[in-house]
A = this chain, B = another copy of it.
Amino acid sequence: MSFKYERIDKNKAMLLVVDHQEGLFQISRDQNATVMKQNILAHSELAKIFQLPTILTTSAEQGPNGPLPVEVTSMHPQAPFIKRQGEVNAWDNPEFKAAVEAIAATGRTQIILGGITTDVCTAFLALSLREAGFSVFANSDASGTFDAKTASEANDRMRAAGVQVLSLFAISCELMRDWRNTPGTPEMLPFFDKYLPEYGFLARAHDASVRNGVQSGLGL
């Protein structure tokens, strides 16, 4: 079996923020809420760091679903922002579809997306994008739904359509590729410190050790 590894390319990618709304956030319970919030912000900030064209969309935001967090909208003041009045699947909204196609026309046919809920707004759109021929990369960490079983089954459905389901860390590293690139260490270490404190505190502790640490005495 031959295989072609299509990596995310920062020059060929766009990023979609799909219904990361403050009301919908509350029905998203497959991840801890603190983690989910950080993942939503990280998803959006990735686009900013890598200067990826970005589209924001919401579903019926005057109603219970609520608005996007101000942290997200303020990161992308110039991005197309399509407020759907009824379409569950954003691809059914002509304005949204046109916005995606406009960016695609510039050669960006890889689409990174995350949204709430994983099984509906994210999956429906991802499947439509696959049908339309796009390469689709679902940010698993930045998508949320009722429970872990629903998330897993939605991811399986997307995988069956050829969607790549990746972690936030994997998307970030495929975009960066080399710590010596730009964006690279100076941009991405603070990003990881903010959103993946496992890595951030590793770096912090390392720096402190270099600065004025003393040997532990373990002697290995």
Contacts and interface: CB of A to CB of B under 8 A. Distances in A.
A61 B161 CA distance: 38
A66 B205 contact: yes
Given A149-B140, A165-B153, A177-B87, A206 B1 contact: no
Contacts of A211: 215
Interface residues of A, number: 110
A14 interface: no
A130 interface: yes
B202 A23 contact: yes
Contact of A146 (B64, B198, B213): B198
A190 B213 contact: no
Given A22-B205, A63-B213, 12 more contacts: A1-B162, A27-B199, A60-B179, A64-B209, A117-B169, A141-B150, A150-B167, A150-B169, A157-B166, A185-B217, A193-B218, A207-B215
Interface of A: 1-5, 7, 21-27, 29, 32-38, 60-67, 69-70, 85-89, 92, 117, 119-120, 123-124, 127-128, 130-131, 133, 140-141, 145-150, 153-157, 159-162, 164-167, 169-170, 173-174, 176-181, 184-186, 189-190, 193, 195-220
B37 A35 contact: no
A146 B117 contact: no
Contacts of A24: 202
9 contacts: A2-B133, A22-B205, A32-B147, A34-B38, A120-B169, A186-B217, A193-B218, A206-B213, A206-B216
